[in-house]
Amino acid sequence: MTIDLRFPARFAFPAALLVCQVLHAQQIGMSITPAPADPAIAAALQQVSVEHIRATIEKLVSFNNRSTLSSMETDLPPGTGVSAAADWIESEFKRISADCGGCLEVKRDDFIEPPQEGSASRIRKPTKLTNVYAILHGSDPAQAPRKVLITGHYDSRNSDNFNTHDLAPGANDDASGVAASIESARVLSKLKFPSSIVFVAVAGEEQGLNGSRHLAKLAKSEGWQLEAVLNNDIVGGDTTPGDTSADKTALRVFSEGIPAAATPEEIRAIQGLGAENDSPSRELARAIAEISRSYFTPSTHRVSAETPPGRPHSNLIQAIPAFHPVLIFRRDRFLRGGDHSSFNAEGFTAVRLTEWRENFDHQHQNIRVENGVQYGDLLKYVDFNYVANVTRLNAAILATLASAPGIPQNVHILTQALDNNTELTWAAPAGMPAGATYEVVWRNTEDPAWTMAQGTGSATTIKLPISKDNVVFGVRSVDSAGHRSAAVLPMPTRPTRNFSAPSAPKS
């Protein structure tokens, strides 16, 4: 079935009139609005507990020093060090699973990391690493192989990478991210989703993303159909007395442009298409922004000079949720790295979630006071209400994407004709549920987010009277309850036969 939305001849306009082209787009599509909140998901978000989050972070801090290297120490006090922390995280996932009748498959990914070479080596001898994760398997056999994943790293460090004994509380970096993963597991575990969710805590981040790299390679070797990875790292909402520059309503979402795993040929194609801003990770980031608007109450917010320092501003009044993601179109911050990059390197779609403004006095620092300044990643600087909001957003993303159909496959834009139309084709994802439909979305090339949408029903082809040269298109799946997949950028193709789209029936 094909939908043909070409205008009849009486509506033809000169191709050079861009304003008419925009008018066509407006007449065809609808402005994108937030999807309706799923009552079951909304109820789960209400179960996110500030007290549980605080207890998790306090417990992780109590292990004294969670340096990955401490796994090889034999003189640590009982109940301290990274191995004790791993055991506790495993026990928490098992406790959550017991509460939901064994709904989680709890696993350990134990391995020996070999020594690193060179003078800058942060692992000097074979070292045991342990990733801990729990899988909430999907309820639909056709969709259960699809997975979405949340992770944080449970290892910590102080000023000296090799110091495994002195305090390294790691309250924000990254007990906060682990708390988001564990609490998401707790509130979502009692629900059923068509596809699977993986809740993770990795080790070895501070020594070079070693734990996440191993898990990403494991996922690749085992053929995981991993559609989205949410890396929560430093999501504690640092609260330093007297610091007014933090924005407790904002959470940064970093996403790569050109995929790290792209081949030279793929990079040339991306550059030729002008698709540097439309990697799968960027489309995930855009989906995150849309999902937030379904579950966080909008408020009228003036973006102005009163905005916290460093925040882009204008004189526009915008409707922005009281807590919302801010899309940062970079893979990560300057001079830093994160576990999402390990998944990007294996070709998976992954983003990093991080608080708006970090305080570097409270990261990778020995606990001390110098010139009246307190250093160290201490519990007292964590805003547990902020972590709860981060957790709610993560849970909403995981639940929405696990409920939505899979992303459309083999999405193409047909380029056999020199004209001012756009023809798109795609194939159904595995396990496309009955009653699910498709939606074509688009935006102006200079816009950061999708602005317009046109439903196609069950049709997997469409013809639009919008020039493919003037906008960016995507295609996504939507189930009968309104859960939307991330969009997929169409790649150009020139079919060997002429593509003829029948006219849509008149309404």
Give 71's Cβ-side CA count (13 Å radius): 24
Do residues 185 and 148 share a domain? yes
Do residues 136 and 251 share a domain? yes
Please tell me the distance from the alpha carbon of residue 348 to that of residue 226, in angstroms, as a whole number. Answer: 7
Please tell me the distance from the alpha carbon of residue 149 to that of residue 394, in angstroms, as a whole number. Answer: 10
How far CA 58 is from CA of 53, 461, 473, in Å, comes to: 9, 53, 46
Question: Residues 362-410: pLDDT tens digits?
Answer: 999 999 999 999 999 999 999 999 999 999 999 999 999 999 999 999 9
The total number of structural domains that make up the chain: 2
Do residues 143 and 215 share a domain? yes
End-to-end Cα, the chain, rounded Å: 17
Residue 316: band (very low, low, confident or very high) from pLDDT cuts 50, 70, 90: very low
Do residues 266 and 192 share a domain? yes
What mean pLDDT do residues 33-40 have? 95
Do residues 178 and 248 share a domain? yes
Residue 17 CB neighbour total at 10 angstroms = 10
Question: Residues 176-201: pLDDT tens digits?
Answer: 999 999 999 999 999 999 999 999 99
Does residue 44 sit within a domain? no
pLDDT at 28: 81
Both tokens of residue 89?
């995280």
Does residue 419 sit within a domain? yes
Question: Residues 234-289: pLDDT tens digits?
Answer: 999 999 998 888 999 999 999 999 999 999 999 999 999 999 999 999 999 999 99
Residue type, 368: R
Contact present, 346 and 216 (Cβ < 8 Å)? yes
Do residues 347 and 415 share a domain? no
Does residue 196 sit within a domain? yes
Does residue 312 sit within a domain? no
pLDDT at 322: 83
pLDDT at 13: 32
Do residues 139 and 199 share a domain? yes
Do residues 256 and 370 share a domain? yes
What mean pLDDT do residues 6-27 have? 37
Do residues 218 and 88 share a domain? yes
Torsion of CA 400, 352, 446, 320, to 10 degrees: 60
Do residues 127 and 220 share a domain? yes
User: Of 397, 415, 448, which residue constitutes the final position of a domain?
Assistant: 397
Does residue 294 sit within a domain? no
Do residues 218 and 78 share a domain? yes
Does residue 118 sit within a domain? yes
Contact present, 216 and 343 (Cβ < 8 Å)? yes
Strands 437-444 and 471-478, by their bridges, are antiparallel
Residue type, 288: I
Do residues 102 and 233 share a domain? yes
What mean pLDDT do residues 44-59 have? 98
User: Of 397, 424, 451, which residue constitutes the final position of a domain?
Assistant: 397
User: Of 378, 397, 416, which residue constitutes the final position of a domain?
Assistant: 397
Residue 118 sits in a domain whose CATH number is 3.40.630.10
Does residue 186 sit within a domain? yes
Residue type, 23: L
Give 368's Cβ-side CA count (13 Å radius): 8
Does residue 292 sit within a domain? no
Provide the residue range defining the domain that includes 472. Answer: 2-31+405-493
Residue 477 sits in a domain whose CATH number is 2.60.40.10
